[in-house]
Amino acid sequence: MVFETLEWIGGIDGHLELIDQRLLPGEFTKLKCKTVAQLWDAIKTLAVRGAPAIGVAAGYGIPLAMQAYDGSELKAAYAHLVKSTEHLAESRPTAVNLFWALERMKTYANSFIANDPNCSIGEFKTALLGEAHAICRQDKEMCKAIGVNGEKFIKEGSGVLTHCNAGALATAGQGTALSPMYEAHANGKKFKVYVDETRPLLQGARLTAWELTQAKIDATLVCDNMAGVVMKAGKVDAIITGADRIAANGDVANKIGTYTLSILAKAHGVPFYIAAPSSTFDLDIKSGDKIPIEERDADEICEFGARRTAPEGMKVFNPAFDVTCAENITAIITEKGVIEKPNTKKIAAHLKTDKILKLK
Ligand code: MRU
């Protein structure tokens, strides 16, 4: 990619630098996060967003947290770390990658101390930064592998529709839903992408349209309520979206509007693919109705730009995500392969396969 969505600058005293996605496409500005509070705010306000990117950012939240610990007691350092994970976990509720990364950092810290109880605080901090880097590196590898595994679903001369932004801006690498498109493009395939605008925060119009334009991929922007028309006109041969959390049975939480698209896809006989790394699966949740869905501020719907578009005091329902039932999904593409017609049994078996990524 020609840009790094998020990048740790320096050593254990360094900081996390993020593309400030609130400002795109008008401004390309890097935001420095030097404290956990700044990172929390960046996640909450969507300066960094997209499930995998939130996970990677949260991983780097731990080295940031450790900078604020100036004692020399390992036990106290660990307690401080745990408190910081609890705080970061409150930034957004739906994308499971956030909790996955925090849990991974906590488990790593715990076993590091257990293996080397006499290590210095400096060694502990260095090891934690190393683990955060590993999460980031693996996310890049998973994105690439999702692209390789999903490329075959993009046929020469076809039309593909996507929703929200599940591209490089939503990950540390080349994205999830957009990754097969980057691979197909690199392989010289010609295809068109229809980009859903994605109301209310316009991740499609602001971010996906920007990304695909940078990559010189043929992209056409449509409002969310135009998706049916383009499908009816026979212009869409496949839909690929990302995911924020996938339940054990294959139900998928993703950006609001994804469920509606899956119904439209069914009605028009269009295959509906989800592209997501294994860090997006939550096997502790049996089915989608148990996935916590973030509700956001009413102003996101009552205003367009800075202009008020709804009467003052209007009642508003603004869920940021919805759940697409597994039966509406043709296949889930992961870094390990493809799960066709996903269900509990197939997902459990798929995630157990130890296909180790060796893509560089
Ligand atoms: O609210 P956002 O912008 O964080 O929502 C992002 C999405 O819904 C993406 O589709 C999802 O996180 C997958 S990103 C690879």
Residue whose CA lies nearest to ligand 1 atom number 5: 50
Q: Same structural domain for residues 12 and 113?
A: yes
Sign of CA dihedral 194, 243, 128, 89: positive
245 lines ligand 1 (CB under 6 A): no
Q: Same structural domain for residues 325 and 296?
A: yes
Q: What is the pLDDT along the chain (360 residues), one digit of tens a residue?
A: 879 999 999 999 999 999 999 999 999 999 999 999 999 999 999 999 999 999 999 999 999 999 999 999 999 999 999 999 999 999 999 999 999 999 999 999 999 999 999 999 999 999 999 999 999 999 999 999 999 999 999 999 999 999 999 999 999 999 999 999 999 999 999 999 999 999 999 999 999 999 999 999 999 999 999 999 999 999 999 999 999 999 999 999 999 999 999 999 999 999 999 999 999 999 999 999 999 999 999 999 999 888 999 999 999 999 999 999 999 999 999 999 999 999 999 999 999 976 655 443
Q: Same structural domain for residues 162 and 140?
A: no
How many angstroms is it from 73 CA to the middle of ligand 1?
39
Q: Same structural domain for residues 156 and 123?
A: no
Pocket test for ligand 1, best of 98, 100, 164, 281 (most atoms within 8 A of CB): 164
284 is catalytic: no
242 lines ligand 1 (CB under 6 A): yes
333 lines ligand 1 (CB under 6 A): no
How many angstroms is it from 169 CA to the middle of ligand 1?
10
Atom of ligand 1 at shortest range from CA of 51: 12
How many angstroms is it from 194 CA to the middle of ligand 1?
17
pLDDT of residue 232: 98
Pocket test for ligand 1, best of 24, 45, 49, 300 (most atoms within 8 A of CB): 49
- 127 domain-assigned: yes
For residue 57, the domain's CATH number is 1.20.120.420
Q: Same structural domain for residues 232 and 111?
A: no
Domain count, the chain: 2
Q: Same structural domain for residues 135 and 177?
A: no
Q: Same structural domain for residues 255 and 273?
A: yes
Atom of ligand 1 at shortest range from CA of 176: 15
pLDDT of residue 42: 98
How many angstroms is it from 206 CA to the middle of ligand 1?
13
pLDDT of residue 102: 98
Q: Same structural domain for residues 289 and 194?
A: yes
pLDDT of residue 306: 85
249 lines ligand 1 (CB under 6 A): no
> Containing domain of residue 309, as a range?
149-352
Residue at a domain's end among 118, 144, 170: 144
How many angstroms is it from 61 CA to the middle of ligand 1?
19
Which of 19, 1, 13, 23 has its CA nearest to residue 57? 19
Q: Same structural domain for residues 136 and 153?
A: no
- 122 domain-assigned: yes
Q: Where are the strands (E) in the chain, listed by range? A: 6-9, 15-19, 30-33, 158-162, 191-196, 219-222, 238-241, 245-247, 252-255, 272-275, 281-282, 303-304, 307-308, 321-324, 331-334, 337-340
- 317 domain-assigned: yes
Residue whose CA lies nearest to ligand 1 atom number 8: 255
Q: Which long-range contacts (CB under 8 A, 24 or more apart) does 70-77 make?
A: 71/121, 72/121, 74/113, 74/117, 74/119, 74/121, 74/124, 77/121, 77/124
Residue at a domain's end among 92, 119, 144: 144
255 lines ligand 1 (CB under 6 A): yes
257 lines ligand 1 (CB under 6 A): no
- 139 domain-assigned: yes
pLDDT of residue 226: 98
21 lines ligand 1 (CB under 6 A): no
Active-site annotation holder among 20, 139, 237, 244: 244
254 lines ligand 1 (CB under 6 A): yes
Q: Same structural domain for residues 341 and 263?
A: yes
- 357 domain-assigned: no
Q: Which two tokens stand for residue 111?
A: 């076993």
Q: Same structural domain for residues 210 and 328?
A: yes
Q: Same structural domain for residues 35 and 73?
A: yes
- 130 domain-assigned: yes
pLDDT of residue 360: 39
pLDDT of residue 1: 80
- 1 domain-assigned: no
For residue 247, the domain's CATH number is 3.40.50.10470
DSSP code string of 231-298: HHTT--SEEEE--SEEETTS-EEEETTHHHHHHHHHHHT--EEEE--GGGEETT--SGGGS---B--T
